[in-house]
Structure 1
Amino acid sequence: MKIYKVIGLMSGTSLDGLDLAYCHIWETKEGWEFKIHETHSISYSAEMQDKLKNSIFLPADQLLQFHNTYGAWLGEQTKEFINLNLLEVDFIASHGHTTHHQPQNGLTFQIGSGQHLANTSGIKVICDFRTNDVALGGQGAPLVPIGDRLFFGKYDFCLNLGGISNISFEKDGKRLAYDIGLANMVLNHITKKINLEYDEGGAMARSGKINEELLVQLNNLEFYKLPFPKSIGFEWFVEKVVPLVDATQDSIENLLHTCVHHVCDQIALQIKAQNNKSNTSLLVTGGGALNSFLMECLQEKLGPKIKVIAPSPTLIAFKEALVFALMGVLREEKKPNCLSSVTGAKRDSYGGVIYLPC
């Protein structure tokens, strides 16, 4: 039995930082198993947040230059993580950071050059997990459902609350998944108006009231009416959501309260539409699972027949990094890590490009 020793790297649309998870992953007769041994989160500086946030507007040559320097920076952080914890590592599986996601145009791009990451860290790297799926006509997203199926299949639904909310579940023998809509991306956008990174525990949101006009505008966004498979990126947020929020004259507390209700409205609609059981389990991970007001609001909207479950803080925070470590393992074994039933691609595939240090 081979045990893969992998570092998973994840940087999400919420722009809160880089997650590193050192994982052991192996396959038994019963299925895939994992253990997370070491973790570390690196908060982005205000300068790095701005660079990542605004990279979508960079000319091509400047974007590619940032792609390289960010890859080298990832390598520096990973090398320090390895040395500090004296880790034995087979390879690094890196998501990178999504700057452009336009699957309708056959385009997705995650910065963080694999070659620069490999050269700087001195470790083999597997990255660029989305491009092959998009080349096969898929959305290139969400990718975490392969981990939901192989690691967390005992739950009826798996919900991730990062910058974006996405859902994953089994139906008729197939894994289905798609982006539901907003999550931390809009909440963090609001708190940054008062120079606050995030609303800890949802305390500010809890003290607010619903702005009915904004709630209706958000719930009527065209994306929510589209059939799945579907996915969204930062471009959609900037174009469709930011103007609505920024044009609403109300308190920060009321804006947050309204957006939490909006997030939960859309999640509840989707889960209720897909659920046909009387007793249902919903596993919630990602930063939004630490927002107690959001979690209470979601449970209330779902009702008592659907149980909202938050796992350990480590799994809440590092599940995506863990799953990208798994995707790297599956790429090594040439087994599918992108499911066509999820992305809408022509076929299942194994995504990921391998870079060797030199």
Structure 2
Amino acid sequence: METENYNVIGVMSGTSLDGIDLAHIQFRVESQEWAFEIIESETISYSSDWVTSLKMAVGFSINELDDLNQKYTELLATTISNFIKKYNIENIDAVCSHGHTILHQPQKGFTLQIGNLPEISALIHQTVVCDFRVQDVQLGGQGAPLVPIGDKILFPEYDYCMNLGGFSNISFEENGERIAFDISPVNTVLNFYANELGLAYDDKGQKTSTGSINENLLNELNDLDFYQKKHPKSLGFEFVKEVVLPIIDTYKISTTDKLRTFTEHVAFQIASALPTKKGNLFITGGGAYNDFLIERIQSYLPEIKIIIPSNKILEFKEALIFALLGVLKLRGEVNVLRSVTGAQKDHSSGVIFTV
């Protein structure tokens, strides 16, 4: 049986603004069985100016967004080129890049990931596969989450696959279909309040663990309309800025109490999202390092076995899966599932730019 090999780079920037994740990945495909190896991987942190710009961009005018998109595409190109040069990566089949989400309003038929302009291919002298979300929204889908097909293909041994990043999302098999949806904000909120304490993030949840739960706030958060909706459903930073933070800030409580209450909210919503409370739960994303959050999730799911993988998979799973989405696009195969996004059909999403 013929074996096919792909040598690609996956690039991802998440809503938690940790930086740009890059992973050099080799895929092997034989009889529709996929295997992968993450060779080199690195996260390039944003400058403080870039963090500010990306946080503020949700309120930018069209002209300001166009300018930001151009500058971010150039930043991404430089970052990718430096990664290729640093690790002397040759014979690359494609660079598969998510870009950075600025606006995500699928209910209005709109999503914007910057860094996906056509010139990125010429700037890095490589074939680029990118802009994976727009087509799905045009087909009536949520444009998110896109990772679940990667869970299905690369991690089929787990009952549940969950990412704890800027937002939490989960995927699993139900009635022969892959189901997935966003659960709640996570690090977009936790990091916001950690910043108030002068921290980039709350390491292992140590500060959070010293706070107390405000029951009224917890109940108000748990009663939000989003949590009553059926999947498919997805979240953007607009939800945090316009809904979650204003609610939390009406409560005159300490920052540690806000962190503690929101962490409890996250754990409760994750437990509520699982249709059965048995099996194994594979957790990746920066939130997997938050020992206190993991402890609270486990307390709500005593019969679930939580599995946290090696650091390389934990930190670069999304870059890995966007690399896979790019390869599937190159192969002309489905890389977005209607059962996940609610689109009119399964489809092969993304655009291919060649030098």
TM-score range, shorter chain: over 0.9
Match of 1:332 in 2: 330
1:133 corresponds, among 133, 136, 143, to 136
2:110 corresponds, among 83, 96, 107, to 107
Match of 2:119 in 1: 116
Partners of 1:300 and 1:325 lie apart in 2 by 34
Partners of 1:210 and 1:46 lie apart in 2 by 32
**Where do residues 1-358 of structure 1 align in structure 2 (5 Å cutoff)?**
1-29=3-31, 31-88=33-90, 89-271=92-274, 274-275=275-276, 279-303=278-302, 305-357=303-355
Do the aligned partners of 1:139 and 1:345 also contact (CA within 8 Å) in 2? yes
Do the aligned partners of 1:177 and 1:229 also contact (CA within 8 Å) in 2? yes
> Which digits, 9 at most, give the CA deviation of each residue in 1:132-180, with x for residues without a partner?
1111111110000011000011100001111011110001110000011
Do the aligned partners of 2:12 and 2:98 also contact (CA within 8 Å) in 1? yes
Partners of 1:264 and 1:81 lie apart in 2 by 36
> Which digits, 9 at most, give the CA deviation of each residue in 1:201-234, with x for residues without a partner?
1111111111112111111111001111001101
Superposed CA RMSD in Å reads: 1.1
Partners of 1:114 and 1:40 lie apart in 2 by 23
Do the aligned partners of 2:159 and 2:281 also contact (CA within 8 Å) in 1? yes
Length, aligned pairs only: 352
Identical residues among aligned pairs (%): 46
Deviation at 1:113, TM superposition (A): 3.0
Partners of 2:239 and 2:296 lie apart in 1 by 25
Deviation at 1:46, TM superposition (A): 1.6
Do the aligned partners of 1:101 and 1:107 also contact (CA within 8 Å) in 2? yes
Structure 1: runs of 5+ lacking an equivalent: none
Counterpart of 2:84, as a letter, is: I
Partners of 1:306 and 1:182 lie apart in 2 by 22
> Which digits, 9 at most, give the CA deviation of each residue in 1:55-92, with x for residues without a partner?
12111112011111101110101100110100022211
Partners of 2:59 and 2:258 lie apart in 1 by 27
Secondary structure of the residue aligned to 1:282 is strand
Secondary structure of the residue aligned to 1:114 is coil
Partners of 1:233 and 1:16 lie apart in 2 by 17
Structure 2: runs of 5+ lacking an equivalent: none
Do the aligned partners of 2:73 and 2:114 also contact (CA within 8 Å) in 1? yes
Partners of 1:155 and 1:73 lie apart in 2 by 36
Do the aligned partners of 1:73 and 1:117 also contact (CA within 8 Å) in 2? no
Counterpart of 1:87, as a letter, is: I
Partners of 1:113 and 1:143 lie apart in 2 by 17
Do the aligned partners of 1:32 and 1:151 also contact (CA within 8 Å) in 2? yes
Deviation at 1:27, TM superposition (A): 1.0
Secondary structure of the residue aligned to 2:145 is coil
Partners of 1:30 and 1:339 lie apart in 2 by 17
TM-score (norm 1): 0.96
> Which digits, 9 at most, give the CA deviation of each residue in 1:94-137, with x for residues without a partner?
10011111111111110003323222211111110011111111
Partners of 1:248 and 1:27 lie apart in 2 by 53
Which shifted more, 23-32 or 73-82?
23-32
Counterpart of 1:107, as a letter, is: F
Do the aligned partners of 1:75 and 1:119 also contact (CA within 8 Å) in 2? no
Which shifted more, 246-255 or 178-187?
246-255
Partners of 2:199 and 2:124 lie apart in 1 by 33
Which shifted more, 249-258 or 280-289?
249-258
Partners of 1:199 and 1:13 lie apart in 2 by 17
Deviation at 1:184, TM superposition (A): 0.9
